Structure 1
Amino acid sequence: MGRDRDETRADDLAGLFARAPFEANGWDTALKALASHTGSARAQLLALGERHAAFNWVTDANPTFLTEFDTIGGYRPDVNYRVATTRAPLELTWEVHYTAARAISTNEAYLDYVRRHDAEFGVQMVLSQRPGVLFGLAALHGQAEGHTTEAQREVFRRIGPTVLDAIRLQDAIEHQGAALLKGSLESMSSAAILLDAVGKVCGMTSAAQALLGPWTLQVRSAALHAVRQDIDQRLQARIAAALTGLDTGPADLWLRSEDSLILIDVRTLPRQDWSFGFAPRVLVTLRAPLAASHVPARRLAEALHLTTAEAEVVMLLAQGHSRQTVAQMRKVSVQTVVAQLRTIFQKCGVNREAELVAIARTVIEMASR
């Protein structure tokens, strides 16, 4: 009878996790049930990146429990004995492993942290690992609960595969949202790069792809980097701030490409409750007067019956550049630009540059809507 009851409770718990991606507060409900089934004060589900936690959900936790975790570097194995004892996916570690790790090296700041929050003991399981991020499930015990029992650890063994399946389902749902957002940005001809909760590139428009190169930006190990080291340091600082939800300030990161300038803007995207970090968390937009504006130039050419080269000249003038600057950006002589303008004036039926710019700005504004 006892075993049948345990199996029934395990089946009920598995059902809660299976429904979690589809129900409001479904993950919170399932985690609280897991805490109850394992005699734990709190249950925890988290994803650890290389530099910070992508998310860290702990049921019924004091808010300082989460903020202090990041402050002391709780995602690092040299700090957190729980992280140091992680094993292969779906294998358990518990107090006996924690004790062994602490005998080798004890981080006093982390030990003080878990004791103050009454979470020194427990059992945990790595659910999955992918490059740059680890997903883990844990039951946290304090002094009142003491060490976990074999029966409580058996709950973890049974529920682990079901929780992993639910995470994969949540992954698919969030990636679908990322694809929809990327499609919307693509339709607006935006040069945009999407980053997930651990700062990895999870989407990029074709306009942004066109701006990457040996002189500007590159994606290395799924992370976005500026080629110039000084710019990259500032870019990484902006990305780190955006990942934590901080305002990154005005766009003022400039890169010089082979034929133009690129302005980089980094912004935090609105966060959703119970997001696993697969969904885009940061939007990086690139603005270049020439290379990033190939679609407006094409539309300008169509509207005014110009060649692509002529349309690019008009577009740069409409952005306020002088004829000398246009010549430099296009790597031609000023005389060439003047000769092109004579043809452009004739095609557009104007006599002055100001008239041409006014027409061009109207076309660009309409094409951008």
Structure 2
Amino acid sequence: MTAPLILCVEDEPSLRDDITFELQEAGYIVAAAEDAREALAFLESSRPDLILCDILMPGMDGRGFISHLRKARSDLDDVPFVFLTALSSRQHVIDGRIAGADDYLTKPIDYDLLRATVESRLNRIQQLRAMPGDRSGLTALDRLAIGVVLLNANGGVVHANPLARCLSDEVGIALSGGVTASGKDGRKLSALVAALISDERVAPAGLRLDNGCHLMVLGMSLPARAHHDDAVAMLILSSGDSQPPLDNAILGQLFDLTPMEAQVACLLAEGLRRNQIADRLAISGTTVAFHLRNIFAKTGVQRQAELVALVLSVPLARSVT
């Protein structure tokens, strides 16, 4: 059996060499690239089993690289993608998850954790590929601006989209195998999951976890399927502490906005003032006011606060570019 092929994209030579050595010692085949350009050239002729990629690189950075792959190389959608970065803030993790990353390792690299993460991701994708039926539709869940976890009849996690994994990590919920947490929150979750996967198929139920992060969980049963690994229940996770980036294109389609109007509306919803929007888009304040008048007319709202609330209600995240 051929060893899995790992593509490591890292611009720092010594770290790239160390990662290559550690993974080769663990029995993997490693292809190393110093930047996204070199990685893309490699991908023209080879298909890796997993991609490790630094975020901060010269030229196309890691987010640009994964965004390009998600748009131009749908044949690689099932290849696990793990970010390597020194940026470990909550928002950076959220941005990385929304961009399409499956996991996130911070520098300095813990090589035991690196090997464990690689092994876990490869095992998971092997399990998914072994399941019968077409599971490509699950990728649509990865663009939602809410966390979604699908559960099978045993309470095991069939699929969790990037935002669900990020929110779960933040509050100490484990999604490995089943959905587990410690203390009072763990007991609440266990009871909810048990009810959802029971033969009675209870009505949708919700709970708020007492973790200081305002995490709300809505659970609902789904129609039973023939295969034991098919989803029979769904958990929806949302947090008032974060709002994923907005999708300009979807917003434009919903309200018939021009691309510039959609950008102005999104920047306003992200908290920028009118003069800051003008600076960001390199237009005058008068032009910003002109676009806002058009936006108000098309959306039917009268006040800026109403517009912000409307924009934030759009339930789709975008790929970070």
TM-score, scaled relative to structure 2 = 0.41
Higher Cα Rg, which structure: 1
More helix by share: 1
TM-score, scaled relative to structure 1 = 0.36
